[in-house]
Copies of this chain bind each other. A is one copy, B any other.
């Protein structure tokens, strides 16, 4: 904070701006008197701050106020936060597809786009398809790239603080990829890269199955399984960003990998062949005995992974996503086994957000970044102009 106190506008003015912006954002629109009452600031102070926010493009006087003004003489002017003053992207880079969500500064999603990208697609091509999806999305919404304030990205693998993928075995060419830098060249705003399961747990906490708790583990079931957790509402990344990388548990149990468990023949599935997995799931739904047996093996394995996470972390809630989000049959055995093995079994729920979890979490990470900027040093917006 020290560097803020010396200059002009003062730290106080910045704090007041953040407080007023926060109050306006919490409501549809408000009068200066209402903002003054909510914030405890004097009316002249609120008026000065709101003028600055209007200049910065973050607040606008509402048309409703203007409309009634003509008829009734001089009603109070009303103002609202301009959620459309900037935009956010939430990107998902997955093993079988890439996806993008576009949101306004309230985090409201205003568009979505996706493209296939199976396990044979290399890193360059995967990022090309993602970029093409983003371009289509922005074009359709009529939002210029310059309006983007932050981009969140969810990807498999262990991600360094600078957005480099330290280790990513689920995607070809992923280990060592400077994902943050590569995407940073395509956008003129901050790009925040996060592990996919971490992004998903943030999403379920924001809009999904974990809204009511701050201590939650999200399990992204799949051929390359992972987990993300919030402890006291904060993302637990681990010392080296590898927390929740539970794929190795399959090996540890000296039992089989998902691709062996889920095979209905003597040959394991291809390690990244999601399509083959979908077929096994479909066969199981039709009552195929070999497929049902494969599902049973897979669920037993999932229960084991989840139990290990629960014993280590002791969350209030476990949310199951990825493949398993579509598995009606997974919750009951999971609850039964957790009750048997855990001293304090957590609640268990399926993902509410399903396929959208990772990209939604990426939006939230972008929004967190922008909110930090708006509410911490909002004053710089007005002085930079």
Q: Which positions in A face B, CB cutoff 8 Å?
A: 158, 166-167, 213, 215, 227, 229, 231, 236-249, 251-253, 304, 307-309, 311-316, 340-344, 346
Bound Cα distance A27, B252 (Å): 50
In-complex Cβ contact of A158 among B245, B341, B343 (8 A)? B343
* Number of chain copies forming the complex: 2
When C-beta atoms are compared, the residue in chain B nearest to A316 turns out to be B239
Taking A213-B239, A247-B343, A249-B311 as given, write out 8 further A-B residue pairs in contact, using a Cβ cutoff of 8 Å, ordered by the A residue number.
A158-B344, A167-B344, A239-B315, A239-B344, A243-B313, A244-B314, A245-B342, A251-B340
Q: Are B308 and A249 in contact (CB under 8 A)?
A: yes
Complex: A166 Cα to B316 Cα, angstroms? 16
Chain B residues, Cβ within 8 Å of A311: 242, 244-246, 248-249, 308
CB-based contact A245/B343 at 8 Å? yes
Nearest-neighbour CB distance to chain B for A186, whole angstroms, equals 28
What residues of chain B lie closer than 8 Å to A166, measured between beta carbons? 344
Given contacts A307-B252, A341-B248, contact A312 B312 (CB under 8 A): yes
Pick the contact of A252: B247, B304, B314, B316 (CB < 8 A): B304
Q: Could you list 25 A-B pairs, sorted by A, with CB under 8 Å?
A: A158-B344, A213-B239, A236-B313, A238-B315, A239-B314, A239-B344, A239-B346, A240-B314, A240-B316, A241-B344, A242-B311, A242-B342, A243-B314, A245-B311, A245-B343, A245-B344, A246-B311, A247-B343, A249-B307, A251-B340, A251-B341, A252-B304, A312-B312, A312-B313, A313-B313
Residues of B within 8 A of A237 (CB): 314
Tell me how far the C-beta of A160 lies from the nearest C-beta in chain B, rounded to whole angstroms.
11
Q: How far is the CA of A174 from the CA of B82 in the complex (A)?
A: 59
A167 CA to B238 CA, complexed, in Å: 28
B239–A312 CB distance below 8 A: no
User: Whole-angstrom distance from the CB of A242 to the nearest CB of chain B?
Assistant: 4
Q: Is the CB of B158 within 8 A of A238?
A: no
Report the nearest B residue to A315, measured CB to CB.
B239
Q: Look across to chain B and name the residue whose beta carbon is closest to the beta carbon of A248.
A: B341
Asked if A238 and B342 sit within 8 Å, CB to CB, the answer is: no
Most chain B C-beta atoms within 10 Å of own C-beta, residue among A237, A242, A245, A309:
A242
Bound together, the chains give a CA A343 to CA B158 distance in angstroms of: 8
Please judge, given known A-B contacts A215-B239, A346-B239, whether A252 and B341 are in contact too, CB under 8 Å. yes
Whether the pair A242, B158 counts as a contact (CB closer than 8 A) is: no
Provide the residues of chain B in CB contact with A346, threshold 8 Å.
239
A180: min CB distance to chain B, Å: 19
- Provide the residues of chain B in CB contact with A341, threshold 8 Å: 248, 251-252
- B314 pairs with A308, CB closer than 8 A: no
In-complex Cβ contact of A248 among B213, B239, B315, B343 (8 A): B343
Nearest chain B CB to A218's CB is how many angstroms away?
Answer: 13
- Give the complex CA separation of A226 and B312 in angstroms: 10
- Is A312 in contact with B342, judged by CB distance below 8 angstroms? no
Most buried by B among A229, A246, A312, A342: A312
Query: Which residue on B lies nearest to A303, using beta carbons?
Result: B252
**Nearest-CB residue, chain B, relative to A317:** B239
> Which residues of B have CB within 8 Å of A249?
307-308, 311
A312 in contact with B246 given A251-B341, A252-B307, A252-B341 (CB within 8 Å): yes
Contact between B245 and A314, CB atoms less than 8 A apart: yes
Q: How far is the CA of A203 from the CA of B246 in the complex (A)?
A: 29
* A158 CB to nearest chain B CB (Å): 6
Check if B312 sits within 8 Å of A240, measured CB to CB: no
Closest Cβ–Cβ distance, residue A284 to chain B (whole Å) = 23
A304, B229: Cα distance in complex, Å? 21
